[in-house]
Amino acid sequence: MPLLSRDTFATLSASSALGAKINQQGSRLNVAGKQSLCAPENIINAENSGTTLRIFAVMAALVKKGFTILTGDASLRKRPMQPVLDALTQLGVECYSSQMNGFAPILIRGGGIHGGNVSIDGNISSQFLSSLLISTIYAKSPVSIRVRGQQVSKPYIKSTIAVMKKFGVTIDYEKDFLEYYIEKKKYRPTEFDVPADFSAAALLLSAGVLAGRSITLKGLDFSLPQADSKILEILKDMDVEISVNKNRGEVKVVGSEIIEGGSFDLFDSPDLLPVVSILALKARSPVKVTGIAHARLKETDRVTNIASQIKKFGATVIEEKDKLLITAPRAPRNSTIQTFNDHRLFMAFTIASLLTEKSVVEGAEHIDVSYPNFLLDLIKLGAKIDYQ
């Protein structure tokens, strides 16, 4: 079942702008694609979705003729796009940042992707590489991609490749996920079941752990790679009582009074940073989170912003470029928390507030980006929340 949120609506709108016909029937989306993409009649607004902006920037190069302009909200217009523009330039595509600063608004000239050799930075976002993989199968000649440096968030690349395979396209790549060879191919129509989102599941599981409640999540899908499924391993390492039934798609956590700390590398799963940071508020020993420098380039600088707000609950926090060290307070104190217009920070800090008698978390209006029913689901689990 597809998630319908501000991010995914942005993706659907962008797809329609390039000529796809989309209609919803209950919990199904029927998509009729086009062999030849058309230039949009208006600007494509990716809202807050970096995935939409980056994927459609490359896809816009496949427009037969004309220009595509892509932009987003204030947050998205601060997220890096230069690596995508540089890669497209290497592939023979004319493209620009309108203010010549490497950020949206982005202008892409259609006419096709020529092909050839391209190198791209891997240390900022996996979305750069995913966007190339998705669209370069339609390049006029084969494409070779070389990733410079280390590739962050590799499970997202694995997911991209796995979904492409579902639509009939396989590509050649090295086991280290640093080299790719793409020949001209075509996607085939298929029926695709959208798996439940482990980023949402991680939030709900952390709520159970912090509130000391048993929670069972059903309908999870372990067949496709998801970076945030690492939360299951992290919870086990924190000595949380957890049971996983992959065949039935179920995960159960049993709340406890105390959990263990430890060291956790989130290089491949940066979206778990807010979740692990709030779990640290209940840990009996310090929690060290590493591999998170690229989390500074998300919707906000999540490393600095999390550090500043976790301290309000009474935690001791040491922040470095690529690391947070969090020591829990004896008892989290009531706080007024800022979330910097970041949907994941709002959800994480709302869950953290379950440890206090009464706290105020600003920014409820941003949950529609990725999880519109978040507050309703917390209330169903027994949380007492007043919101406007």
Residues classed as catalytic: 271
- C-alpha–C-alpha distance, residues 301 and 340, integer Å: 9
Contact 284, 253 (CB under 8 A): no
Contact 99, 125 (CB under 8 A): no
- C-alpha–C-alpha distance, residues 275 and 292, integer Å: 13
Contact 241, 265 (CB under 8 A): no
CA angle 133–138–142, rounded 5-degree value: 75
Q: Which helix (H) or strand (E) holds 275?
A: helix 273-279
Q: Report strand pairing: 44-45 vs 67-71.
A: parallel
- C-alpha–C-alpha distance, residues 233 and 275, integer Å: 13
Q: Which two tokens stand for residue 147?
A: 């990733």
- C-alpha–C-alpha distance, residues 68 and 19, integer Å: 13
DSSP codes joined into one string, 260-275: --EEEE-TT-GGGHHH
- C-alpha–C-alpha distance, residues 160 and 81, integer Å: 19
Among the listed residues 165, 168, 275, 160, the one whose alpha carbon sits nearest the alpha carbon of residue 225: 160
Q: Which two tokens stand for residue 49?
A: 């979705």
Q: Which two tokens stand for residue 192?
A: 């695709």
Length of the chain: 388
- C-alpha–C-alpha distance, residues 386 and 336, integer Å: 14
Q: Which two tokens stand for residue 114?
A: 């020529």
